[in-house]
Amino acid sequence: MNIRDILDSLKKGEMSTEEAEKALRLDYVDKINDHTVFDRGRRIRKDIPEVVYARSKAPKMVADIAKRVPKDGYLLISRASREHYDAIVKEPSDNEVTYHEDASAISVGKIRAERKGIIGILTAGSSDIQVAEEAKLMAEAMGCRCMTSYDVGVAGMHRILEPMREMLDNGVDAIIVVAGMEGALPSLVASLAYVPVIGVPASTGYGYGGNGEAALMSMLQTCSPGLAVVNIDNGIGAGSMAAMISKRRHEK
Amino acid sequence: MNIRDILDSLKKGEMSTEEAEKALRLDYVDKINDHTVFDRGRRIRKDIPEVVYARSKAPKMVADIAKRVPKDGYLLISRASREHYDAIVKEPSDNEVTYHEDASAISVGKIRAERKGIIGILTAGSSDIQVAEEAKLMAEAMGCRCMTSYDVGVAGMHRILEPMREMLDNGVDAIIVVAGMEGALPSLVASLAYVPVIGVPASTGYGYGGNGEAALMSMLQTCSPGLAVVNIDNGIGAGSMAAMISKRRHEK
Amino acid sequence: MNIRDILDSLKKGEMSTEEAEKALRLDYVDKINDHTVFDRGRRIRKDIPEVVYARSKAPKMVADIAKRVPKDGYLLISRASREHYDAIVKEPSDNEVTYHEDASAISVGKIRAERKGIIGILTAGSSDIQVAEEAKLMAEAMGCRCMTSYDVGVAGMHRILEPMREMLDNGVDAIIVVAGMEGALPSLVASLAYVPVIGVPASTGYGYGGNGEAALMSMLQTCSPGLAVVNIDNGIGAGSMAAMISKRRHEK
Amino acid sequence: MNIRDILDSLKKGEMSTEEAEKALRLDYVDKINDHTVFDRGRRIRKDIPEVVYARSKAPKMVADIAKRVPKDGYLLISRASREHYDAIVKEPSDNEVTYHEDASAISVGKIRAERKGIIGILTAGSSDIQVAEEAKLMAEAMGCRCMTSYDVGVAGMHRILEPMREMLDNGVDAIIVVAGMEGALPSLVASLAYVPVIGVPASTGYGYGGNGEAALMSMLQTCSPGLAVVNIDNGIGAGSMAAMISKRRHEK
Amino acid sequence: MNIRDILDSLKKGEMSTEEAEKALRLDYVDKINDHTVFDRGRRIRKDIPEVVYARSKAPKMVADIAKRVPKDGYLLISRASREHYDAIVKEPSDNEVTYHEDASAISVGKIRAERKGIIGILTAGSSDIQVAEEAKLMAEAMGCRCMTSYDVGVAGMHRILEPMREMLDNGVDAIIVVAGMEGALPSLVASLAYVPVIGVPASTGYGYGGNGEAALMSMLQTCSPGLAVVNIDNGIGAGSMAAMISKRRHEK
Amino acid sequence: MNIRDILDSLKKGEMSTEEAEKALRLDYVDKINDHTVFDRGRRIRKDIPEVVYARSKAPKMVADIAKRVPKDGYLLISRASREHYDAIVKEPSDNEVTYHEDASAISVGKIRAERKGIIGILTAGSSDIQVAEEAKLMAEAMGCRCMTSYDVGVAGMHRILEPMREMLDNGVDAIIVVAGMEGALPSLVASLAYVPVIGVPASTGYGYGGNGEAALMSMLQTCSPGLAVVNIDNGIGAGSMAAMISKRRHEK
Amino acid sequence: MNIRDILDSLKKGEMSTEEAEKALRLDYVDKINDHTVFDRGRRIRKDIPEVVYARSKAPKMVADIAKRVPKDGYLLISRASREHYDAIVKEPSDNEVTYHEDASAISVGKIRAERKGIIGILTAGSSDIQVAEEAKLMAEAMGCRCMTSYDVGVAGMHRILEPMREMLDNGVDAIIVVAGMEGALPSLVASLAYVPVIGVPASTGYGYGGNGEAALMSMLQTCSPGLAVVNIDNGIGAGSMAAMISKRRHEK
Amino acid sequence: MNIRDILDSLKKGEMSTEEAEKALRLDYVDKINDHTVFDRGRRIRKDIPEVVYARSKAPKMVADIAKRVPKDGYLLISRASREHYDAIVKEPSDNEVTYHEDASAISVGKIRAERKGIIGILTAGSSDIQVAEEAKLMAEAMGCRCMTSYDVGVAGMHRILEPMREMLDNGVDAIIVVAGMEGALPSLVASLAYVPVIGVPASTGYGYGGNGEAALMSMLQTCSPGLAVVNIDNGIGAGSMAAMISKRRHEK
């Protein structure tokens, strides 16, 4: 019920002044975040799944949150262990609960089948796959298909060119590149591709800067145009950025 | 001349084996970066201007680089001082040379008038304007129009909502948000907008973390979906990322 | 016995010069910390409970300290595990020993029932609750009532406004805000509320700056007036600061 | 005009539905920040002066901002140089413009004479005085009187006790303590005083940690109850926190 | 088959144009990394073993990689545990699998017996031996013999001079020096020896800088000529650099 | 046998030229560290026990080192666990092996009973005792008696003055002060005492700077004369510095 | 007048109770810092000169401080420029004012001629001389003679041994070693000498760790017994520690 | 005169015992650094020029050092300004003094013409040239020829392949690669070349990690075999390492 309807009802006497005032007051709080201009955004935003970061949460706490997901709702639980999964499935639920081992994540509910956009995801090494899979889950939940090619490293350049060619031929909206160590791959991809690239530093490496800082710094220092980054190991953030780019492209 | 042409010429005897071999060999080096699959990319890439970072370069060195810009070429010189500009214009040139004071940048040559995409640029404070203007120059050079709204801070929320509404109504492809201090604005914008947001930490602030590190960390830690960042004060990077998103959107 | 009494006793001959000298000498050491001007302070200070940080202490060491709490005394043991609790209750005690699971803390003895001040406590996420509960225990031990509202995040602004309105309506003396990740909530609260705000960075977050440094930096960089911070996860410090503000307000 | 008035006017026919809708719509944006519950806050907030950080701004930019201060308004310009001052006074103004040399600050307009609260300000060294004076200006602008005692160091304890006694006897609402080097003074004051203490690390020191980091860390690590901190050299922040505590105490 | 052969076959009609084109196209990808000028390099590069960093990989993942090593191939698995080894040997293999306990590494396959160069390896303490042994395995796999002398410390200079004399007398091509703590040994060796020295900071030490940072910084700050460094604990990198120096010396 | 003796023997024919040359050559290596000028130093140095840092060493490796201690020799093993102790005592030994639980250290052999100097050791908290006990063991092994007073904190100044007075009255040669958190105690002691003070930062604390960095920085920033520091938790270093000061004082 | 005198006067009627009480009260504040046990310390402490750090102070502020030095008093002004000196000597003074160019320091007043102890001071490079000279000034002001040997580097060991031998032969009480870059010299000296060594990291160096951090870390990580450090470039601190060691040694 | 000669002279009576003893004693100090085993090293070491770092030294101090260079000696003065040069040439000298503007260095004396080895030097950008030229000067002074190719960046791979091919064809002993920003070039070169590569991080870059830290970290994190690094901007260190590799190769 919008303002006009309330005012009309009031004028017509279908609503008392008190009722109208209360309706408008309640409306205030709701409207703060979703001002009319954000209407279209709200429709889009419905596709952004709620995400819970499980690492610092006890299995029971996560299970309680999972229980509150409404039927036909969707929740993504990142950095989740088997213990988190076991705690969730112990209780009956209307929603399908899946443990995505590669991504160390749990999904509660189902994402819709139809997907418009398409995202490419590359990793430099095999240790970066979990972060890539987390990004993939997020992008899928936001309505994208994902093409992945893992462990393309920097050792041999043809290992990178082949999957990039395929991704570009398939018309990807954006490419996510996960890389630890010196984190050079995203810059290389951004210097060759003609699509936006999202770099994800991975916390794999040795000694000085080996917890992902070297990779983060490298990506931030890049000379390649069309590259932006998210935080170390933040697959969720990369997935959501790529999907947002994709959505904006396809809604036109 | 592609491989098939060379082979045909060889077979027809229009070319000796030596000539064919040399043609193919020369072709190698050229092909390394622009493998056939990157053809379309190359067309797009033509719009990415060469950028020179002037701060650590002497005026003469910059002037020498500027002199080499071909007629109808385009070069963007970032973090440039009046001294750099004076050194450039001292010499005759076929290209128009402009000093963009707000962006502390120099452009050599002209960008084409027609622009397809549209980028929104917001800054938290008035100290962040230079970075925003640098981003704007870059995005324009890559074929985008820019809507800007500076100094919207976080002091009063309506100061943010108004320009955001306008940008969204105009159909921006992406929004760049420059912020120093605690760097909270990009997260706020990303939580409200339904377009990809690029955060640019600015090196304005006090004491601990005041050189842009607090802002960078905040943006990397964001909970808002659809936000990625570039390095501190890196207007060029933000502009190129936003324009790349825009290009990809409009080329479809 | 104060100086005047000693001098009078000496003059009256009820005390020898030696006795008087010794009494005054002993008095020296006592007086160093509680100079007469701090008399009122001392009365107030009696309400500041002794706090022991258990994390780096063996259960036995903590139990020994707990045993020394006098009847009607009070001791707060922070960052305590079940093992610490078990070690304490194994021995008979005149004091009630309670394990506060939410706060990972143990209290030995009872706080008085009557409480004058009132403190509001907000957390951004559910992972920050332990720190908030620790702050609450401390503030209560110093004679304050606490209103808490956890997990109000920054996702939706109405989730913040409601509890803030209630706290302000109840006349809170100060508000404690616990936040990890980008740590933006305390700044937001301080920009809206008209009471002093104490920010507590929480060690929840991802990658770069994720151990609470991003949150700490953000809070220190704040533009909002009326916000000061304590160290990462330092619930005890926040509770004592808020209670001190409250005490000072109500003693007038 | 509040919602009820609008609704009444509509019902009485004094206002058309369109007019009522528009009035309510306009009301939305205004209300976002100053929801009715914040009414009292708004009255208090009127005393919080606008503050502009001049260091990274050109004299002309600062003068432009100063020119916009309405008659009877008030603006505090921190970290301002003589050049900033000269640029401001070059233009005619309705407001008194004062250069506060000790605080390296400029005030535009006058603060009201009557002041309720009282704040104590201590500095460890003579190099910390500028920060203290900045805090003093801010606290005064928010309606407090300030008692200051500078350079009390940690060399001799009686140099600290005397001014503290005097401040406590005068009933200060809070004490601000500015200290560089090892930053031990705020902890000492907080361990002795029975009022809230705000520590301000100053960027004075040697070598490792000498830019204020040692002082900041020390204050954050304090064992003394009732101490919270603001950022390095942030006199404005300390002044506003102390004044907020004071206001809350006296409005009761 | 090289370009000329393809062209000749085409001209002679032994190959169709299509076949020739395809052969050349396939050739492209191969040639990207091993352009004709790198031919000699390729022969040398065959001696550089593939290395897998096991620490962040599950035993099964490592076993899968090990299984793919061709007969007569060679793979070095660094930072490997017994669990990794057990997972590998559980499956039948054509290659010899060895667990090198001192180096915490596994080798799959055999290195050739004949070795040309000779590398000296010194460690400051007994805790640095694992890193040294890792370097030794790598250097051996690249065709070098190694002379080692461990725990020569800095306590007594003659403990260093004796092994250095012996190494130099045996004509070592380069010396690797592993050192934790203050990391002074590589500088000392480089100031005395007349061969290139590779410093490896080890993550042994106390408190501030004790994770290898002090050693890394010291080595980077060295005044001794002829010293370069690899990352903390990076025995593989040190071994490969030393062996590369050795190879280049002996191939002449 | 010194140079002169060798030359005399040669001249007298008691030694062949070859024997003389060899004796002189052997002498070279020995003399490098203990040039004649260091003779007195060598006598003093005999009291400096060999110290082995056990943390990063396997029990067996430590036991092997312990076995090599000659009868009447002495070895101190720091940061040793029960497992290290068990491995050592499993084998028969001529030396007494003692596990010093408070110091987490093992001594092999006996120190001589007679001790000349006297060292004072203070700790701020009870968590710092292990470091203090390690310092005590080292100082005792170098011939000093130790007076200790633990957990004197900064809470009440009389808790510090009493033990300090006693130490000074007993004529201590130096005072070691161990402190974590804000690390203020060493500065306070150095400002009051008239003996050299050695500060030892302890790795106890919260959040930012809580691993001993705040304490280290504070001590390095001290304004108190006569204070120098060793690394975080480095009891061995503090003990050896204090004992060296003591030795130098008493050898006069 | 001590307590006993006051009590006697009271008893004899030479003083009223009020007068006695006041005398005792006044005595309190004085006694806080110089409790009877610190009497001997106070005598020694008279030799510790007041030191003012000039760098962050305006010439006028420093001149004002200098003016307050009583006749026969002594003040050391460190990190002072010619401007500071000029401001001081512009005004008439009872004290001799000297600019010590090598130490960038100013002394106001004279130190006494007779000096008991003797301190050795070494520097690794010629850039470290200013710090060494500052240490020398401080040690001299505290009654020590200094033997200096600068730029002994680590390039050739005999350059170090010669001056060390001479210092030891002259019976130095302690040796100060100033070193930038990798900061290895203090460890080397401490491993050879049998006197306490004070390491001073100097802010000379390249790139990573080049502002003195590498040197500080190295010294803190030292394996040599009998070495403690002061902050980067802190000549004053090193001089006062060395002199305190010397005083304690000679007062016996 | 070696030991044997001295002994023979003594035995033959050509030398007194006193003379022999003195000759041997003098020999001690000399021998410490150049033990007989280092004889060959000494011959090689004669080619290592003395290097003085001018940045932190006054022109006069540098001129004094330059004056002491013996005829036919050689001194390299790095990071030298025109002022340093002017101060040197103001005084008459036997040696040729040259200001190398590109390297910001001064050479005093001449290097010998004949050069055996050959070193390749690449830079990523034009800002890195000074560091490269410094490396070149050092390598030349140690007897190497240098092939340089500057500003090959990472923008287009053929720009790198061409100069690399040429360097390899000319038989370079080692390649120095200078790179700022993300510092990816050395890794790329090391992955393609079959010669040892020395990476030099340059202090060119933006914001976070922009002072060379990102480049340093990247190079240390490299996966490419045969790459070691020197400190940020340390051209001298890179030149000496490369030349040492070259010398060792050619002396065989």
Burial of C12 (0-12, 13-18, 19+ CB in 10 A): exposed
Predicted-complex ipTM score: 0.84
Cβ-nearest to C32 among G10, G11, G32 = G32
User: What is the rounded distance in angstroms from the CA atom of residue B202 to the CA atom of residue E46?
Assistant: 48
The minimum CA-CA distance between C235 and chain B, rounded to whole Å, is 22
CB contact under 8 A, A220 and H213: no
Neighbouring chains of F at 3+ CB pairs within 8 Å? C, D, E, G, H
pTM above 0.80, yes or no: yes
A244 vs A157, higher pLDDT:
A244
Architecture of domain C117-251: 3-Layer(aba) Sandwich (3.40)
For G195, the token pair is 């006197």
Worst-scoring range by mean pLDDT, C129-143, F69-83, H156-170? H156-170
What span, in angstroms and rounded, lies between the C-alpha atoms of B83 and D119? 50
Q: Match 């102890």 to its residue by tokens.
A: G117
Chains A and F touch, contact meaning at least 3 pairs of CB atoms under 8 angstroms apart: no
Give φ, ψ of D192 to 5 degrees. -105, -35
Tell me the three state secondary structure of residue D163. Answer: helix
Whole-number average pLDDT of chain D: 85
Average pLDDT of span D99-126: 90
Q: Which residues fall within 8 angstroms of residue A70, CB to CB, at 6 or more apart?
A: none
Q: Which of C28, B8, F154, D193 is nearest to G31 (CA)?
A: C28
Per residue in E193-250, pLDDT (tens digit) is 889 999 999 998 888 998 999 999 999 998 889 999 999 999 999 999 999 999 999 9
Contacts of H184 in chain A (CB under 8 A): 182, 184, 187-188, 218
Q: Kindly report which listed range (D2-11, D19-28, D201-210, E62-71) carries the lowest average pLDDT score.
A: D19-28
Partners of residue H207 in chain B, C-beta under 8 Å = 201, 203, 212, 216, 231-234
Q: What share of chain C is helix, strand, coil (3-state, %, to 5)?
A: 45, 20, 35
Q: Is A128 on the interface with C (CB under 8 A)?
A: no
Chain F CB within 8 Å of residue C17 CB: no
Give the C-alpha separation, F158 to F90, whole Å.
Answer: 48
CB atoms within 10 A of CB A2: 11
**Residue numbers in H near A209 (CB within 8 A):** 217, 220-221
Contact G223 E181 (CB under 8 A): yes
Nearest CB neighbour to G196, from listed F35, F234, F244? F244
Q: Which of F209, F215, F220 is nearest residue D207 as measured by Cβ atoms?
A: F220
DSSP 8-state secondary structure symbol assigned to residue E221: T
Sheet holding G50-53, edge to edge: G50-53, G74-78, G105-109, G97-100
Partner residue opposite D182 with nearest CB, options F208, F213, F218: F218
Report which of G150, G118, G145, G117 is spatially closest to residue G131, judged by C-alpha positions.
Answer: G150
Q: Does an H or E element contain A227, and which?
A: strand A227-229
Touch of E by A (3+ CB pairs closer than 8 Å): yes
Chain A positions in Cβ-Cβ contact with residue D10 (cut-off 8 Å): 7, 10-11
The residue of chain A nearest to residue H156, with distances taken between CA atoms, is A191
Cβ-based contacts of H208 with chain B (< 8 Å): 212-213, 216, 231-232
For C86-106, what is the mean pLDDT? 93
Burial of B174 (0-12, 13-18, 19+ CB in 10 A): buried
The minimum CA-CA distance between G128 and chain H, rounded to whole Å, is: 10
Whether residues G7 and C20 touch (CB distance < 8 A) is answered with: yes
Give me the total of CB pairs closer than 8 Å, taking one residue from chain C and one from chain F: 38
Q: Which of B249, B236, B112, B227 is nearest to B177 (CA)?
A: B227
Is there a contact between A57 and C126 if contact means CB atoms under 8 Å apart?
A: yes
pLDDT surpassing 50 at residue D38 = no
Q: Angle of helix C3-11 relative to helix G17-33, nearest 10 degrees?
A: 130
Instruction: Answer whether C161 touches A (CB < 8 Å).
Output: yes
Residue-wise pLDDT for C5-22, tens only, equals 778 888 888 888 877 776
Task: Please state which of the ranges B67-76, C44-53, D4-13, H35-44 shows the lowest mean pLDDT.
Answer: H35-44
B158 — pLDDT class (breaks 50, 70, 90): low
- Mean pLDDT for H28-57 is 59
Provide the β-strand partners of residue B137.
none
Which residue on chain G is closest to E183 by alpha carbon? Answer: G218
Q: Do chains B and E touch (3 or more CB pairs under 8 A)?
A: yes
Q: Is the pLDDT of residue A107 over 50?
A: yes
CB contact under 8 A, F158 and C29: yes
The least confident of A54-68, C182-196, F25-39 is F25-39
Interchain contact B101–D (C-beta under 8 A): no
**A-B C-beta contacts closer than 8 Å:** 137
- Report whether E103 contacts E236 (CB < 8 A): no
- Shortest distance, CA F228 to any CA of chain G (angstroms): 5
Question: DSSP code of H70?
Answer: P
> Residue D36's closest chain A neighbor by CA?
A25
- For residue H131, the model assigns a pLDDT of 96
Which residue pairs from H70-73 have beta carbons closer than 8 angstroms and sit at least 24 positions apart in sequence? H71/H95, H72/H109, H73/H108, H73/H109
- pLDDT, tens digit (0-9, with 9 covering 90-100), for E153-199: 655 555 677 788 889 889 999 999 999 998 989 998 998 788 999 99
Q: How far apart are CA F145 and CA F139, in angstroms?
A: 7
CA end-to-end span of chain D, whole Å? 28
Q: How far is B171 from chain H (nearest CA, A)?
A: 31
Distance from CA of D121 to the nearest CA of F (A): 21
How do residues B26-48 score in pLDDT, each as one tens digit?
554 444 433 333 444 544 556 78
C119 has which bridge partners? C146, C174
Chain G residue at shortest CA distance from C14: G11
SS3 sequence of chain G: CCHHHHHHHHHCCCCCHHHHHHHHHHHHHHHHHCCHHHHHHHHHHCCCCEEEECCCCCHHHHHHHHHCCCCCCEEEEECCCHHHHHHHHCCCCCCCEEEEHHHCEEEEECCCCCCCEEEEEEECCHHHHHHHHHHHHHHHHCCEEEEEECCCCCCCHHHHHHHHHHHHHCCCCEEEEEECCCCCHHHHHHHHCCCCEEEEECCCCCCCCCCCHHHHHHHHCCCCCCEEECCCCCHHHHHHHHHHHHHHHHHC
> CA–CA separation, G1 vs D115, rounded Å?
45
| pLDDT, tens only, B107-135 | 999 887 778 899 999 998 888 999 999 99
* Own/partner pairs, F145-150, CB within 8 angstroms, 24+ separation: F145/F115, F145/F117, F145/F118, F145/F119, F146/F118, F146/F119, F146/F120, F146/F121, F147/F118, F147/F119, F147/F120, F147/F121, F147/F172, F148/F120, F148/F121, F148/F122, F149/F120, F149/F121, F149/F122, F149/F123, F150/F122, F150/F123, F150/F126
Residue H201 touches chain G, beta carbons under 8 Å: yes
Residue E157: list chain F partners with CB under 8 A. Answer: 32-33
User: What whole-number percentage of chain H has pLDDT above 70?
Assistant: 87
* DSSP line for H114-172: ---EEEEEEESSGGGHHHHHHHHHHHHHTTEEEEEE----SS-HHHHHHHHHHHHHTT-
- The mean per-residue pLDDT over the stretch C75-93 comes to 93
- Compute the distance between CA of residue F156 and CA of residue B10 in angstroms, rounded to an integer: 97
SS3 assignment, position C144: strand
Identify from A157, A162, A181, A208 which residue to disrupt to test chain E contact, counting E C-beta atoms within 10 A and taking the largest count.
A208
Domain ranges of chain H: 30-108, 117-251
Furthest CA-CA distance within chain H: 77
Task: Check CB contact under 8 Å for C182 and B209.
Answer: no
A112-to-A47, A72, A140, E242 alpha-carbon distances in Å: 10, 10, 9, 56
Decide if F206 and C232 are in contact by the 8 Å CB cutoff: yes
pLDDT grade, residue G46 (50/70/90)? low
Higher-pLDDT residue of A216 and E50 is A216
Residues of E in contact with G205 (CB under 8 A): 221
B2 to chain E, closest Cα gap in Å? 10
Would the pLDDT of A38 be above 50? no
Contacts of E156 in chain F (CB under 8 A): 33
User: pLDDT tens digits for H11-33?
Assistant: 888 888 878 877 776 554 444 43
* Helix, strand, coil distribution of chain E in percent, nearest 5: 45, 20, 35
Q: Which of B184-188, C248-252, G244-248 has the highest mean pLDDT?
A: G244-248
Contact H93, H71 (CB under 8 A): no
Q: Return d(Cα F100, Cα H36) in angstroms, integer.
A: 47
Do the Cβ atoms of C33 and F127 come within 8 Å? no
> How far is it, in rounded angstroms, from Cα F198 to Cα F176?
5
Residues whose CB is less than 8 angstroms from the CB of residue H119 and which lie 6 or more positions away in sequence, other chains included: H136, H139, H144, H145, H146, H147, H172, H173, H174, H175, H176, H239, H242, H243, H246
Beta-carbon separation of B29 and H127 below 8 A: no
To the nearest whole percent, how much of chain B has pLDDT over 90?
48
Q: Are D236 and D51 in contact (CB under 8 A)?
A: yes
Contacts of A29 in chain C (CB under 8 A): 158, 161-162
Cross-chain residue pair A37–B252, CB shorter than 8 Å: no
The strand pairing partners of C198, in sequence order, are C176, C228
Which one-letter amino acid corresponds to residue A173? D
The tens digit of pLDDT for each residue in B206-245 reads: 889 989 999 999 999 988 899 999 999 999 999 999 999 9
Q: Is D225:D65 a contact under the CB 8 Å cutoff?
A: no
pLDDT, position D155? 52
Q: Is C232 on the interface with F (CB under 8 A)?
A: yes
CB contact, 8 Å: D210 with chain F?
yes
* Nearest to F112, CA basis, from F149, F74, F150, F161: F74
**Strand-strand pairing, E197-201 and F50-53:** unpaired
Round to whole Å and give the CA distance between H35 and F25. Answer: 10
Q: How many CB pairs under 8 A join E and G?
A: 89
Chain B contact for A165 (CB, 8 A cutoff): yes
- Per the model's pLDDT, the better-predicted residue between C203 and D28 turns out to be C203
Element (H, E) at A50: strand A50-53
Q: Is the pLDDT of residue H35 over 80?
A: no
Q: List beta partners, residue A100.
A: A105
The reported pLDDT for the residue numbered B99 is 96
Chains that touch C (3 or more CB pairs under 8 A): A, B, D, F, G
* Minimal CA separation from H40 to chain F, in Å: 19
CA distance C198 to chain B (A): 16
Residue indicated by tokens 């398409």 = A118
CA distances from F106 to A208, F79, F150 (A): 33, 8, 21
The predicted model gives A68-85 an average pLDDT of 90
Taking an 8 Å cut-off on Cβ atoms, the answer to whether G222 and E181 are in contact is yes
Q: How many CA atoms lie within 13 A of H12 on its CB side?
A: 7
